[in-house]
Amino acid sequence: MQYVSEKNLGRLSLYRRLLNRLQAEGTRSIYSHELARMAGGTAAQVRRDLMAVGSVGSPKRGYNVRELIDRIGEFLDAPEGEGVALVGAGNLGRAIMAYFSGRRPKLSIVAAFDTDPSKVNRVIHGCRSYPVEEMEEVVRRDGLRVGIITVPAKEAQGVADMLVAAGVRGILNFAPTPLRVGPDVHVEDIDMTMSLEKVAFYARKHALEREPAK
Amino acid sequence: MQYVSEKNLGRLSLYRRLLNRLQAEGTRSIYSHELARMAGGTAAQVRRDLMAVGSVGSPKRGYNVRELIDRIGEFLDAPEGEGVALVGAGNLGRAIMAYFSGRRPKLSIVAAFDTDPSKVNRVIHGCRSYPVEEMEEVVRRDGLRVGIITVPAKEAQGVADMLVAAGVRGILNFAPTPLRVGPDVHVEDIDMTMSLEKVAFYARKHALEREPAK
DNA sequence: TAGATTGTTAATCGATTAACAATC
DNA sequence: TAGATTGTTAATCGATTAACAATC
């Protein structure tokens, strides 16, 4: 299995989703250019990405959909499944719990934490919530290696430190602030404010180009 | 004003937020390496990014915080402000409305749309909600150029087409599917499933490296 | 002045794209 | 076979990093 970059990895995740839809529709095989068209990339890129997971296509029939799904799964998924801890059961946190609820059996949020007494010791979207004081204990007990942070920016670094101390090695960070973690922890940021500002910038640019009246 | 890449743009957005915090704390000036440390980048990169918005620093005092905030604002923001339309007032959509509510006066969600009769003609987190049938009319009337899509994957493309037809030129897409739009429309994807799968992959990798028992 | 930082150019790096022999 | 696609290498592209004269 060769080196796979972070961008490769993201695209593999996308391909799998597209392939799952195709399989549900009864499609058995697919060519690189077809998958590229669906994913919004080039055929060469798709071939290179698929090569990385050891897939085998044939010039005549392209790639077997089921086999591709299996290969990507072997590469991406933990065979035994992966439990996720979510910290911050506010509006965004609860929406994310709802979003991931039942979507992937091998990757599901199994515990939520909050400081607000009204939000803990309950079941939210099928997930048990605990006071933050119990975080280290629960994360250790359940062997959770993945965390999601949906607390305000000011609290995010402290939460990250607690998660890492409890054994978490990957964090999906929704707090609009950079996190400092060690080299053995991976952080993925989802910065909605940054994304919206970028979109607004380009929207304005496109609108101005359209009517070049000065 | 020189060329600014998409990554540059995102970092400028982050710098501004960090600078706003510094200003609130009373900091007047800052060196590139200090800002780099906060943002998680290199000093040279910060200098190059700031150069792009025409900032002027001095070897003695570094950059003036207030001036930087102004320059980045002139570059990123629409002077008259920008209204945003959100389509899909489900769990995620409402959480996003709450998230952006009052956060940026110049970039705020001013209208939400949904097909569910129980979710329309109301005020959610300070934002009026309408039935989708009124989307084109409202978007045109208010001159909205930015849209946020938080509907299920199957409906996303149709919603995108409607938004673009009504005049939207930038879309923040939370639906886990690629959108096809013309070259004069910018799409930014926030794919939470992809991000979580990437985090899980690296978390597993780090955990396995830690205990190389085979 | 001496020393640290800025603005800017050159060198490096990595990912994407193009190209093409091998294959069905 | 002829034709389209795959697997894989070489060329291109763009962003990051390093370097350094100019500046305070």
Q: Is B181 on the interface with A (CB under 8 A)?
A: no
CA dihedral B158, B164, B168, B170 (to 10 degrees): 80
Q: Is A123 on the interface with B (CB under 8 A)?
A: no
For A74-83, A179-188, B205-214, which range has the lowest pLDDT when averaged over its residues? B205-214
Residue B206's identity, in one-letter code, is H
Per-residue confidence at A213, pLDDT binned at 50, 70, 90?
A: low
Q: Is the CB of B33 under 7 A from strand D?
A: no
Per-residue confidence at A209, pLDDT binned at 50, 70, 90?
A: confident
Query: Which chain B residues have a beta carbon less than 8 Å from that of A103?
Result: 193
Q: What is the mean pLDDT of chain A?
A: 94
Identify the helix (H) or strand (E) that includes residue A60.
none
* Least CB–CB distance from B198: residue in A10, A92, A196: A10
Query: Checking DSSP bridges between strand A146-149 and strand A29-30, what pairing results, if any?
Result: unpaired
Burial B109-137 (b: 16+ CB within 10 A, else e): bbbbbbeeeebbeeebbebebbebeebee
Question: pTM for the full model?
Answer: 0.95
B24 CB-contact burial (10 Å; exposed 0-12 / middle 13-18 / buried 19+): exposed
- Provide, in whole angstroms, the distance separating residue B33's CA from nucleotide C2's C1': 21
- What would the pLDDT profile of A10-60 be if each residue is shown by its tens digit? 999 999 999 999 999 999 999 999 999 999 999 999 999 999 998 889 999
Between A167 and B2, the higher pLDDT residue: A167
Q: Specify the pLDDT at position B121.
A: 97
pLDDT at B5 over 70: yes
Query: Checking DSSP bridges between strand B29-30 and strand B63-64, what pairing results, if any?
Result: antiparallel
Q: Specify the pLDDT at position B2.
A: 59
**Cα separation of the two ends of chain B:** 56
Q: Specify the pLDDT at position B180.
A: 94
- What would the pLDDT profile of A76-91 be if each residue is shown by its tens digit? 999 999 999 999 999 9
Q: Specify the pLDDT at position B214.
A: 43
Query: Which chain B residues have a beta carbon less than 8 Å from that of A178?
Result: 14, 38-40
- Nearest Cα neighbor of B166 from B96, B107, B83, B105 is B83
Q: Specify the pLDDT at position B35.
A: 97
Q: Where are the beta strands (DSSP E) in chain B?
A: 29-30, 63-64, 82-87, 107-114, 123-124, 127-131, 146-149, 170-173, 186-189
Chain A contacts in chain B segment 130-149 (CB below 8 A):
145-146, 148
C-alpha distances out from residue B193 to A78, A97, B15, B66, B175, Å: 15, 12, 27, 38, 10
Question: What value, to the nearest 5°, has the Cα angle with vertex B191 and ends A163 and A136?
Answer: 10
Angstrom distance (rounded) from CA A86 to CA A114: 9
Chain A contacts in chain B segment 66-105 (CB below 8 A):
76-78, 82, 84, 91-92, 94-96, 98-100, 103-104
Which nucleotides on strand C sit less than 7 A from a protein beta carbon? 3-9, 14-19, 22-24
Per-residue confidence at A214, pLDDT binned at 50, 70, 90?
A: very low
pLDDT at A1 over 80: no
pLDDT at A180 over 80: yes
- Nearest Cα neighbor of B179 from B214, B208, B145, B151 is B151
pLDDT at A211 over 80: no
- Cα-Cα-Cα-Cα dihedral sign, residues A50, A12, A184, B8: positive
Per-residue confidence at A160, pLDDT binned at 50, 70, 90?
A: very high
Angstrom distance (rounded) from CA B20 to CA B17: 5
Query: Which chain B residues have a beta carbon less than 8 Å from that of A124?
Result: none
Beta bridge partners, B149, equal: B87, B173
Quick one: residue A45, left, alpha or beta (phi over 0 = left, psi -120 to 50 = alpha)?
alpha
Angstrom distance (rounded) from CA B187 to CA B102: 24
Q: What is the mean pLDDT of chain B?
A: 94
